């Protein structure tokens, strides 16, 4: 388990000072998924983090194609759309965002563009063309899976094209979102009072198997799985219900599923860097306005 903390301070005129001491603990992590427990944050902070992950952390995607030959039954536009949605492994340190690249060229250069070629014909018989048929000039920028179907070719059909991938942001097009899912929810708190008669109705009703009946008592088996749906409380025959479910104040579970374009921990690191940049910019603006007034 890793632990780290982010400190956020912002001073607004003379009114008040906000100070958040945010503690982040990694609950689960694998190649594509990450689940964090965030304590000491509030909803605006969590939402800012989520929005930055989905819309501002850059990833690589095919942005332009040149069709040399297409005798398949699919239109060029459909193929272009499909190619754009193939997640590509992203070399974030090796490339510039096109708008920040010194080349200032619409077409791009080796520092802001990767070329992938597709050249398949079917003299031998029809076949499906997959993402694995794309040949990239950079072995670090390739489709995350070789088995994403692009189109089907019948016998004696051909597809030949050149595709240009660039770094981009989800706020400009969803193809650049580095995640397929990013959510947060309050950290659940479940209390079972002494009035519980262990009838087990709440256990049967829970869709996430959060609760378990052990002898004459009800125990929490998987707290993190709780969605705070309140079905257990509604099923309880006691009035008021002997089970109470609520969200812990200022504690959240943050879930992230990467498209595999970037490792989840890199996505989080980039998101915190971007958020930090925005906060510094805001702080700078406030100082400028204050000095303008005085
Ligand atoms: S709130 Fe919903 S998910 Fe949570 S324990 Fe109750 S029934 Fe299960
Ligand atoms: S439904 Fe209510 S009374 Fe029955 S086991 Fe659950 S908490 Fe206890
Ligand atoms: Zn460039």
The string of pLDDT tens digits covering residues 168-203 is 999 999 999 999 999 999 999 999 999 999 999 999
How many Å separate Cα 291 from the centre of its chain? 39
Cα–Cα distance list, 88 to 5, 30, 49, 165, 210 (Å): 31, 19, 23, 9, 37
- For ligand 2, the distance from its centroid to the CA atom of residue 214, given in whole angstroms, is 12
- For ligand 2, the distance from its centroid to the CA atom of residue 184, given in whole angstroms, is 28
Whether the pLDDT of residue 53 is over 90: the answer is: yes
Q: Which residue's CA is the closest to the ligand 1 atom numbered 7?
A: 206
Nearest to 108 by CA among 118, 92, 126, 96: 96
Q: What pLDDT score does 6 carry?
A: 45
Protein residues with CB under 6 Å of any ligand 2 atom: 192, 196-202, 218, 235-236, 238, 242-243
17: confidence class by pLDDT, cuts 50, 70, 90:
very low
Q: Which residue's CA is the closest to the ligand 2 atom numbered 4?
A: 199
Q: What pLDDT score does 19 carry?
A: 60
Three-state DSSP state, 79: helix
**180-218 per-residue burial string, b: 16 or more CB within 10 A, e: under 16:** eebebebbbbbebeeebeeeebbbeebeeebbeeeeeeb
- For the entire predicted model, the pTM comes to 0.85
Distance CA 201, CA 195 (A): 14
Three-state DSSP state, 281: helix
Q: Which residue's CA is the closest to the ligand 2 atom numbered 6?
A: 202
Residue 149 near residue 128, CB atoms below 8 Å: yes
* Ligand having the closest approach to the CA of 190: 1
* Ligand having the closest approach to the CA of 95: 3
Length of the chain: 294
- For ligand 2, the distance from its centroid to the CA atom of residue 242, given in whole angstroms, is 6
* Ligand having the closest approach to the CA of 105: 3
Q: Is 232 a pocket residue for ligand 1 (Cβ < 6 Å)?
A: yes
């Amino acid at each position: 388990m890793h632990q780290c903390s982010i400190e956020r301070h912002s001073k607004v005129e003379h009114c008040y000072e906000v100070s958040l001491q945010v503690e982040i603990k990694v609950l689960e992590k694998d190649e594509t998924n990450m689940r964090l427990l965030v304590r000491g944050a509030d909803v605006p902070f969590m939402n800012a983090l989520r929005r930055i992950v989905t819309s501002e952390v850059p990833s690589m995607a095919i942005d332009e194609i040149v069709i040399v030959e297409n005798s398949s039954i699919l239109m060029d536009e459909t193929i272009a759309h499909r190619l754009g949605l193939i997640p590509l492994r992203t070399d974030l340190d090796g490339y510039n965002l096109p708008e920040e690249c010194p080349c200032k060229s619409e077409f791009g250069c080796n520092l802001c563009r990767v070329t992938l070629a597709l050249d398949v014909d079917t003299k031998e018989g029809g076949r499906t063309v997959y993402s694995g048929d794309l040949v990239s000039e950079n072995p670090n920028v390739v489709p995350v899976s070789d088995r994403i179907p692009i189109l089907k070719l019948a016998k004696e059909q051909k597809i030949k094209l050149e595709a240009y991938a660039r770094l981009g942001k989800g706020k400009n097009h969803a193809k650049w979102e580095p995640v397929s899912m990013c959510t947060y929810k309050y950290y659940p708190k479940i209390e079972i009072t002494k009035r519980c008669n262990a009838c087990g109705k709440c256990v049967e009703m829970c869709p996430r198997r959060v609760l378990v009946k052990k002898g004459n008592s009800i125990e929490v088996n998987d707290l993190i799985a709780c969605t705070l749906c309140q079905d257990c409380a509604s099923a309880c025959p006691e009035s008021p219900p002997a089970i109470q479910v609520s969200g812990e104040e200022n504690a959240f579970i943050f879930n992230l599923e990467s498209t595999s374009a970037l490792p989840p921990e890199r996505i989080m690191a980039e998101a915190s860097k971007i958020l930090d940049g925005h906060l510094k910019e805001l702080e700078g603006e406030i100082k400028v306005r204050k000095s303008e007034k005085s």
